């Protein structure tokens, strides 16, 4: 893991840019029938896109035995984004401490800033993660007997 962490440490201070267009109904704010007709980007969908971008940044620096998982997310949704607008995500790696990678960034649509965010992703062993998942599942299965 040291090699992967050394590579990831080199990301500190670097900025990355992503964009997507709100074209799919899956992006639309749809908590109830009163808001679905507004046809605007859901904050939950926006956060999911941000998480995917952070994951993609790290994926290229990790060998196949490691994966990054979300341990913290914070988003301040400032303004709405209408359907069909293009969205621009600016992400900066602000810190790398041990196996934790800290991100911050801003999101803009074609008109204005619509959000700002912070994300922390932990680098973990896939093998240990799978082991912990199986242990938790087994604990649940035993309690159901």
Using CA atoms, how far apart are residues 26 and 42, in angstroms rounded to an integer?
A: 9
Domains of the chain with bracketed CATH = 2-144 (3.10.129.10)
Length of the chain: 145
29-76: pLDDT as tens digits: 888 888 888 999 999 999 999 999 999 999 999 999 999 999 999 999
Q: What is the pLDDT of residue 37?
A: 85
Q: What is the pLDDT of residue 144?
A: 59
Using CA atoms, how far apart are residues 90 and 14, in angstroms rounded to an integer?
A: 11
């Amino acid at each position: 893991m040291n090699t992967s962490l050394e590579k990831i440490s080199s990301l500190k201070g670097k900025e990355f840019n992503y964009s997507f267009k709100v074209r799919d109904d899956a992006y639309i704010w749809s908590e109830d029938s009163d808001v679905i007709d507004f046809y605007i980007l859901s904050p939950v969908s926006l956060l999911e896109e941000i998480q995917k971008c952070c994951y993609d940044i790290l994926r290229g620096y990790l060998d196949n035995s490691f994966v990054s998982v979300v341990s913290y997310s914070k988003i301040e949704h400032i303004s709405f984004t209408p359907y069909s607008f293009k969205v621009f995500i600016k992400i900066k790696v602000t810190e790398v401490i041990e196996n934790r990678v800290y991100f911050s960034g801003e999101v803009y649509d074609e008109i204005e800033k619509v959000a700002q965010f912070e994300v922390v992703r932990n680098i973990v062993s896939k093998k240990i993660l799978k082991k912990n998942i199986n242990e938790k599942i087994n604990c649940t299965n035993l309690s159901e007997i």
